[in-house]
Amino acid sequence: MISPKFRCWTLFLPLLAFISSGKAECTKPKLEGNVVLTDEANLKNEFLDESDVTLECTNGYVLDHGSDRITCMGGTWSKQELICKKKDCGMPRPVANMQYDIPNGTLFGAFIKPYCDRGYDLQGSSYRQCLANGWTGKSMCFLKKCAKPTEIHNGMIINHSNKEFPDFQDVIQYSCHENYILEGNSSIVCQENGEYSSPPPQCRGKREPASEPTESTPSNFYTNSTLPRLGNESDLRELESTESTLTESTTSNLSAISTPPESQGMVEEASFGQFLKVFGIVFGILILGPGILYAIYRHLKRKGSYDTGEALRTKEELLQKHSL
């Protein structure tokens, strides 16, 4: 037999079911901006009346201001107050001899370009991006180097940094051995492009200085040791005649030496003109001479010449008279 108390509770069960069924539930909230539900809130299948859920900023964004909670009230979510903004990665960590080109700031998603100071090479990422965890990539700057200095023949390197491959702005200095002359730059510098400022110099043998011409005494002149000794007047006259001959010879030689190139050209032209005149005369004689002789011969032949023998008879008569 059912007790009266149990019977009373069974009468209230339909009433309790009706009251509980009257509470409204909320659907999954729709959020604005860069705000999302936390992982815990996403795992819920139902959102009961007067229940709360927690919000957070999406990847790459951080809290700016506002509450991070909303509440289900009578089947409707309370107003979203959370506002998120982009994360600012700030300036990258400083690296020796490196600068950055920052065209669009340092906020989430922005790109920057690293570059090195003069004389340094960039190795690593040529671009870096701001993401949720900070800047991507890594870059370093290394001092530029030049090739091993070239040795030179008959010379040596006298100033060197003792490095196999010189660094930017290192100076290489050369010197030549004794009796050799250095041609080119005695020192070369390692430049920012990895090349030397100029080719290495060369060492060449010394050139003997050219001997200056000396004024020599003409061979025609007598020296004191070769002058004839003066004796009588005939010797004196002979010496004067010799001096006159030597003076004329020396004068002609000096005239030939001192004649400028223009005068020599004129003399050559005059000699060539005389040669043409003589050649013309000889050529005329050779061409016209036989013709003239032939004309004279024809003239004499037409005139005629007969030997009558009178001269022979006169000679015989004179011989007879002489014999008598």
Please check whether residue 322 lies inside any domain of the structure. Answer: no
Please check whether residue 187 lies inside any domain of the structure. Answer: yes
Could you tell me the CATH number of the domain that includes residue 113? 2.10.70.10
Please check whether residue 62 lies inside any domain of the structure. Answer: yes
39: containing domain: 19-86
Answer whether 0.85 is exceeded by the pTM: no
User: Which token pair is 178?
Assistant: 């004794």
How many structural domains does the chain have?
Answer: 3
- Do residue 38 and residue 76 come from a single domain? yes
- Do residue 81 and residue 109 come from a single domain? no
Please check whether residue 312 lies inside any domain of the structure. Answer: no
> pLDDT tens track of the chain, all 324 residues?
455 554 544 555 444 444 444 567 898 998 988 999 998 888 888 899 989 999 999 999 999 999 999 999 988 999 999 999 999 999 999 999 999 999 999 999 999 999 999 999 999 999 999 999 999 999 999 999 999 999 999 999 987 777 888 999 999 999 999 999 999 999 999 998 889 999 999 999 876 555 555 554 444 444 444 444 444 555 546 545 655 554 555 455 544 444 444 444 554 555 667 777 777 787 777 777 777 777 777 766 665 544 445 555 555 565 565 555
Give the separation between CA 196 and CA 173, rounded to whole angstroms: 12
Please check whether residue 290 lies inside any domain of the structure. Answer: no
Predicted local confidence at residue 159, as pLDDT = 78
CA distances 221 to 115, 235, 242, 244, Å, are 87, 18, 10, 11
- Among 116, 184, 100, residue whose Cα is nearest residue 150: 184
Predicted local confidence at residue 79, as pLDDT = 92
Predicted local confidence at residue 95, as pLDDT = 93
- Do residue 23 and residue 68 come from a single domain? yes
Please check whether residue 323 lies inside any domain of the structure. Answer: no
- Do residue 28 and residue 80 come from a single domain? yes
User: Which token pair is 195?
Assistant: 């090349």
Please check whether residue 219 lies inside any domain of the structure. Answer: no
Number of H helices and E strands in the chain, helices first, is 5, 17
- Among 125, 131, 50, residue whose Cα is nearest residue 86: 131
Please check whether residue 193 lies inside any domain of the structure. Answer: yes
